[in-house]
Structure 1
Amino acid sequence: MAPTLKLTYFNIKGRAEPIRLALYIGGIEFEDNRLTGEQFAELKPSLPYGQVPVLEVDGEVIAQGLAQLCYAGKLAGLYPEDPVVAMRVDEALCAGEDMSATLRPSFFEKDEAKKLEMRKALAEETLPKWLGMMEKRYSARPGDYSCGEEMTVADLAIYSFGSWMKMGVLDGIPTSILDPYPTLCGIIEKVGAHPKVKEWNDKH
């Protein structure tokens, strides 16, 4: 019997988007519960780590987005059974987390001038360093995706992060920041062209 799933996050793409995409691509039914700021404030004390997304699986609340994404990938056939390929996927997801963590301090900086200084360093030094390492890593592998011939949840994470960066939502980070990295851009383009991803985007 298929599990009853409820994914709770804000009404934005963010960290929940690759999880939503994995479930949708796999044809897995789930409740897409989107919170307002007020609803999150009320819910926060009851959350395992005070954060979203959380995924309820037959009533059990599971935290941590990467754990949820891997689980969704297993349900959807987007997480490899081969242990070595699965390890590549985990590596890619963890590297993405490390890169994302470099952005977080600038989100909490209230001084606008200082924030722009931080973003300038991110745009000119930190992000190119990480993106360059990823480009080198993934371009050395066969196939069109980060971990080989088949699309996995790692590619959904790359697509979600890359699409977000290209939207120009971060002051001081140019929308062209990914342009020098053809492998990463190719992954983003290929995932974005997937029929189920296009269908999801058209609906949301």
Structure 2
Amino acid sequence: MGSGGSKSASYNYKLTYFNARGRGEVARLCFAVAGVKYEDIRIEQADWPALKPKTPLGFLPVLNINGNELTQKLVIDRFLAGQFGLLGSSDLERSKIDEVMTTISDFTVDLSGTFFIQEEDAKATAVKNILDTKLPAMMAYIEKTMNENKTQSGYVVGGKLSVADLTVFNCLETLTNVSPTALDEYTRIRDLNTKIGIISSIAKYVASRPKTPI
């Protein structure tokens, strides 16, 4: 498992994001796995207009490290993964992890967007379109990546837990909230999801965090 090193131990972390999993959750999972303390600042929608002009680019998440701010979800996730030993064991693994993070994040954004569609028929149509046209390719990509992992560790990339696994885990949670049976025919990916979910630090965090739809 990842662990916070001496550098990260000297950092004071503050993560600001909405009171949702969304684009802030992989960072929170990194903190949970590493066992590193941070301030989890959850913003309610009513408070966002006042905060927005004070953020670097007008959106969240924002990670504050000893007064220095990082924004952009993937930048934050990569930074924390590097700090906590969740970024693979070689340059090739790091590049593959980066590929997985980018690919899965694009799919998760599409999926999460369906939660904001108010009209039920339109929402159902959007969900069906994603499940029919985008999900099979995404599942095939994850399975292919795991099959090509020479360590056959059961993780997505390399022989140990990485931020790629946490990115997939977060995506699959959103997916199964949208469609509880979506993983039924994907045994290996379902097993990966279980493997990550029973890690004690992750299970403890998931059980204690606020319950949100996305």
TM-score for both structures, normalised by structure 2: 0.84
1:153 aligns with one of 146, 151, 163 = 163
C-alpha distance in 2 between matches for 1:133 and 1:24: 27
Offset, 1:101: 3.9
* Number of positions where the alignment pairs a residue of Structure 1 with one of Structure 2: 199
Q: Which residue of 2 aligns with 1:164?
A: 174
Give yes or no for contact 1:102–1:126 (8 Å, CA) kept in 2: no
1:187 aligns with 2:197: no
Give yes or no for contact 2:57–2:71 (8 Å, CA) kept in 1: yes
Q: Which residue of 2 aligns with 1:94?
A: 102
- Identity of paired residues, percent? 26
Give yes or no for contact 2:88–2:160 (8 Å, CA) kept in 1: no
RMSD: 1.9
C-alpha distance in 2 between matches for 1:11 and 1:111: 23
Alignment deviations for residues 11-48 of structure 1 (CA, whole Å, 9 cap, x no partner): 22222122112112212221111111122221112222
2:153 aligns with one of 98, 123, 143 = 143
Q: Which residue of 2 aligns with 1:129?
A: 137
C-alpha distance in 2 between matches for 1:27 and 1:87: 25
Give yes or no for contact 1:9–1:33 (8 Å, CA) kept in 2: yes
**Which 5+ residue runs of structure 1 have no aligned equivalent?**
none
Give yes or no for contact 2:88–2:158 (8 Å, CA) kept in 1: no
Which structure carries more relative contact order (alpha carbon 8 Å, separation 6+)? 2
TM-score for both structures, normalised by structure 1: 0.88
Alignment deviations for residues 72-94 of structure 1 (CA, whole Å, 9 cap, x no partner): 11221111241001011101101
* 3-state SS, counterpart of residue 134 of structure 2: helix
C-alpha distance in 2 between matches for 1:108 and 1:164: 13
* 3-state SS, counterpart of residue 138 of structure 2: helix
Offset, 1:110: 4.7
